[in-house]
Amino acid sequence: MGKSDSWSTPDSRHRSRTLRRRRILVIRIAVIAGALLVSWIAQSQLHDDPVSVPGTAPDASPTPEPICRADGEFVAGFMSPQTDDQQTGELLQRMNTDAITFGGRVEPVDTDQYPADVAEQIGDRQAYEYTVEMNWEGIDLDDSDTLVQVDDTEYGLIAAGDNSVVVTESVNGGDPFHSLTRVSDERDNNAFIGLPVPQMRTTDETWLPDSNYADVLDGFAEKFVAAYETRGADGYYLAMEMPLTDTTHWDPVADYYDRQTQLINTVSPGATVVISPYLEGRAGRETISPETTALGYENLLGLANGTHMLVSPQDGLGVDTTALEADESGEHRYTTEDYFAALHEVDPERLYVTIEAMTPGDGTPDTREETSRERAEAQLDATDPYVQGGIGFQWAGPNAMMHIPHIGDGACAAGPGELE
């Protein structure tokens, strides 16, 4: 073996090992790069995302669906629609239920408060005003009815009663109830329109309605129902309230119900009508027993006059007239569960509950506060065994229904088209 051979053999072996290491390293890098590429392609296909552009933020994760922790559900909510369809739609979106409106008042008014052109058309007739903005677009009016345009305001002079006229106003075509029927039709919600109510008595029994101009109220209400029936109303709400009792003291309110269901059924046979009486279970007040509420419920159902009447008593928990069994209250003789168990025995199919979604505060609207989600769910659970569904109501601020957690976030909302 020569000298050259003695040096070449180890060196070539070293170079060979080095080359093999390099090849292995290159292969490993290629394998890792290939794996990363395959993984990147798979992830891109899985999420169907384009290649990210530098400087752009990734899409936000979808908001999880709210979870209802109660057995009961809200099938409707009281709300105040707006004259703007987009705003009304936003309210319905947040509620995720059918909608019920309150009714405007028909009240006596002095003619001289109106523009000269309107006052001239009223003439010597007794004038009343309807307190919710309303237009008559697309409605066939009687020959005795007149529309007067003054600047951006349309005045409707609607003949009603004996030598009387009810005046409606609409600025730039505004009509919140018409907005609700339009938007509800687009979204498949059901819209229940509140009927006009009279003013309350100004002396003596001021909690009872003034029936001195019942013919005017009814004459206007019939044309009102015909208008919103044309516009697609799914039913009507009788906003005049009374306790759930059979005492004759409240006959003026029962008489109002009786007259309104008759005229509703004349215009829209079999239409759904909602009534929401209240309960009184506090000790030391004119307490109403569960047995008496059952008799009152039976009386109300007898005033349907061919309509499909639904009775949704207020649960009393937002104004402290009742308490839940779990509250263990010593200030209430009867609980919410006591009342609804008794009502269920009369007729469960037409029984709903109006959930008062606020806290009582000092007992006035100004001191009431919003409820908690936990409390609202407890209210739903307490009445769920007895009723067909809940109707949400809050009186702790203007249009505050959209701020109630359980309705606003849709956690316990049944969705549109559930109250019929």
Domain 74-105+175-408 annotated CATH 3.20.20.80: yes
Residue ranges covered by each domain of the chain: 74-105+175-408
Mean pLDDT of 392-402: 63
Provide the percentage of residues in the chain whose pLDDT is more than 70: 80
Mean pLDDT of 186-195: 97
Beta pairing class for 358-359 and 146-150? unpaired
CA distance 169 to 172: 10
| pLDDT of 25 | 45
Helix pair 214-230, 251-267: axis angle to 10 deg? 40
Q: pTM, whole model, 2 decimals?
A: 0.83
Beta pairing class for 197-198 and 191-194? unpaired
**Sign of the dihedral through C-alpha 206, 81, 418, 382:** negative
pLDDT higher at 61 or 105: 105
Mean pLDDT of 216-233: 98
A 10 A CB-CB count for 85 gives 15
Contacts of 66 (CB under 8 A, 6+ apart): 409, 410, 411
Contacts of 284 (CB under 8 A, 6+ apart): none
pLDDT digits (tens, 9 = 90+) for 191-208: 999 999 999 999 999 999
Decide if 316 contacts 356 (C-beta within 8 A).
yes
pLDDT digits (tens, 9 = 90+) for 160-180: 999 999 999 999 999 999 999
Q: Give 228-242 as a DSSP string.
A: HHHTT--EEEE----
State the pLDDT confidence band at 332, using cuts at 50, 70 and 90. Answer: very high
Region of residue 48 (left: phi > 0; alpha: psi -120 to 50; beta: else):
left
Instruction: Assess whether pLDDT exceeds 50 at residue 400.
Output: no
Sheet holding 98-100, edge to edge: 308-311, 272-275, 235-238, 191-194, 98-100, 74-78, 390-393, 353-356
Decide if 231 contacts 223 (C-beta within 8 A).
no
Instruction: Assess whether pLDDT exceeds 90 at residue 252.
Output: yes
